[in-house]
Amino acid sequence: MTAVTSWTPVRWLRRNAVVLAGLAGLLYLLLPNAVVLLFSFNDPAGRFNYEWRTFSTEAWTNPCGVADMCGSLTLSLRIAVLATLGATAFGTLAAFALARHRFRGRGAANGLIFLPMAMPEVVMAASLGTLFLNMRVGFGFTTILIAHIMFCLSFVVVAVKARVASMDPRLEEAARDLYAGPLQTFLRVTLPLAAPGIAAGALLSFALSFDDFVVTQFNAGPSTVTFPMFVWGAAQRGVPVQVNVIGTAMFLIAVGIVLAGQLTARRRGRSTA
């Protein structure tokens, strides 16, 4: 009986306790995604897809088999694309102002942009809804779009600002020294350098808009049903398996995009290094 061998597993556990706890936390984060994936292959007996019955690929071969679901999905996509364009354009301009210029009112502008992120969503949603209601603006596509651009803006500003602040202004000076005009400098130097931040902001606002439920519920009215609102309604009536298919597909697409982004970044890093 040697003391060393009987001690090793305990010592290993102690040394890696943090990592094990961390991986347990990661499992907690990924568990619902695994359940969503598993139950997308379920063949439920009744309306509710909460209990495992038998394996079936029905939902995957016929994802739009549920009435109204794919319509709500395209509506959400349309809103997300437009909200992303608006928020990214406005947010990028504001980020350049805040990162590149020292001016009076900068602190106030920073505060104004920070506030929407620091406020409970329900407060923001209810107040905008109250305004639309009292201005007698009809709820629908436009009010959802306005609301989505509003709450996505701040996230774009933060993402782009971080990138612009870390850019070396000497590169732009060098371009000017080489007789590049202001437009040429912006298009050939500034914009490519800021692009990863702008892309991150755009991706974030797309995800936020596509997934938003709270602000949408208060500003959509009864007839405009986005995908999250469809899911919410379905939660009361019975969630179709196809919702799990969409959830899983979204997860896989997102992981694919992020991994592709990291791979291209690494390749670019290698070629310039």
As measured in angstroms, the least distance from the Cβ of 53 to another protein is 12
> Of 26 and 64, which CB lies nearer to another protein in the complex structure?
26
Rounded-to-5 percentages of helix, strand, coil across the chain: 80, 0, 20
- The tokens for 69 are 């679901």
> Which of 158-170 are b and which e, b meaning 16 or more Cβ less than 10 Å from the residue's Cβ?
bbbbebbeebeee
As measured in angstroms, the least distance from the Cβ of 178 to another protein is 18
The CA distance from 153 to 124, in Å, is 14
As measured in angstroms, the least distance from the Cβ of 79 to another protein is 14
Are the C-beta atoms of 199 and 268 separated by less than 8 Å? Answer: no
The CA distance from 219 to 67, in Å, is 23
As measured in angstroms, the least distance from the Cβ of 263 to another protein is 10
> Of 133 and 180, which CB lies nearer to another protein in the complex structure?
133
> Of 60 and 251, which CB lies nearer to another protein in the complex structure?
251
Q: Name residues whose C-beta falls within 8 Å of residue 93's C-beta, 6 or more positions apart in sequence.
A: none
> Of 1 and 191, which CB lies nearer to another protein in the complex structure?
191
As measured in angstroms, the least distance from the Cβ of 250 to another protein is 5
The CA distance from 208 to 212, in Å, is 6
> Of 140 and 228, which CB lies nearer to another protein in the complex structure?
228
As measured in angstroms, the least distance from the Cβ of 2 to another protein is 25
> Of 56 and 217, which CB lies nearer to another protein in the complex structure?
217
> Which of 42-58 are b and which e, b meaning 16 or more Cβ less than 10 Å from the residue's Cβ?
bebeeeebeeeeeeeee
